[in-house]
Amino acid sequence: MSTRAEVASIIDHTLLKPEATGAQVAELIAQGAELGTYSVCVSPNQLPVEAPVGLHVATVCGFPSGAHATAVKVAEAADSVAKGADEVDMVVNLKLVKEHDYAAVEADIRAVKEAVGGKLLKVIIESAVLTDDEIVAVCRAAEAAGADYVKTSTGFHPAGGASVHAVELMRATVGDRLGVKASGGIRTAADALAMIEAGASRLGVSATVAILEGLPA
């Protein structure tokens, strides 16, 4: 997977700045459709949006800290789906991860999965703040809870975003049973290709145009 169209087909074209306007989201959608991205990813307050057939709509939940009560995440996810979201990217409860209470981590994820029903759920683990053992354990909890993807990062944490090592470890943990989304700090074609080579099956990026321009047609 190295051509412009191939890489575009796994990109979540993303705009999650809290100050983003409706006009900017409309521009994002038009751009995503033109570039052939898999989806656009916007904040819940932007929903519902008008997207052309074939362009999926993703949103976030418990973002960016994950430090929300489960009931709040459930309500947010359910509201987003009711407003047309095809996919929900939730942030795990990092307090529980750091306390190694993985049963509680799993319960938090499962509740959101139930709220989204048949829609796709990605679980943001914020890999840059986790040890390797914690990455493995939280990926296992996400799989046990019924998640569809594990995702590296929000892109908002000061510890950093996606790394090749984290993506490789996440892919090794979930095998081909779940998707792996790399997100955070992916700004060039070389970055994107490195993440795909490491095992990413989806990319969350805002620098979509620059990435695709660096790839062969």
CA distances from 100 to 124, 133, 178 (A): 16, 10, 22
pLDDT tens-digit map of 49-70: 999 999 999 999 999 999 999 9
* Residue 83: active-site member: no
CA distances from 184 to 12, 154, 157, 160 (A): 12, 6, 9, 7
Tokens of 191: 């970055």
Residues 28 and 13: their CA atoms lie apart, in Å, by 7
Kindly name the residue from 89, 108, 148, 191 that is annotated as catalytic: 89
* Residue 133: active-site member: no
Tokens of 16: 């999650």
Domain boundaries, the chain: 4-213
| Cβ-Cβ contacts under 8 Å for 44 (sequence gap 6 or more) | 59, 60, 61, 76, 79, 80, 83, 85
**Nearest by Cα to 203 from 60, 19, 93, 41:** 41
Residues 157 and 162: their CA atoms lie apart, in Å, by 11
**Tens-binned pLDDT, residue by residue, of the chain (217 aa):** 789 999 999 999 999 999 999 999 999 999 999 999 999 999 999 999 999 999 999 999 999 999 999 999 999 999 999 999 999 999 999 999 999 999 999 999 999 999 999 999 999 999 999 999 999 999 999 999 999 999 999 999 999 999 999 999 999 999 999 999 999 999 999 999 999 999 999 999 999 999 999 999 9
Kindly name the residue from 73, 113, 122, 181 that is annotated as catalytic: 181
Angle between helix 164-174 and helix 189-198 axes, rounded to 10 deg: 30
From 3.20.20.70, 3.30.910.10, 3.40.190.10, 3.40.50.300, which CATH number describes the 4-213 domain?
A: 3.20.20.70
* Residue 119: active-site member: no
Q: Which helix (H) or strand (E) holds 39?
A: strand 39-42
Kindly name the residue from 73, 113, 122, 151 that is annotated as catalytic: 151
**Nearest by Cα to 43 from 213, 217, 206:** 206
**Nearest by Cα to 88 from 136, 129, 123, 130:** 123
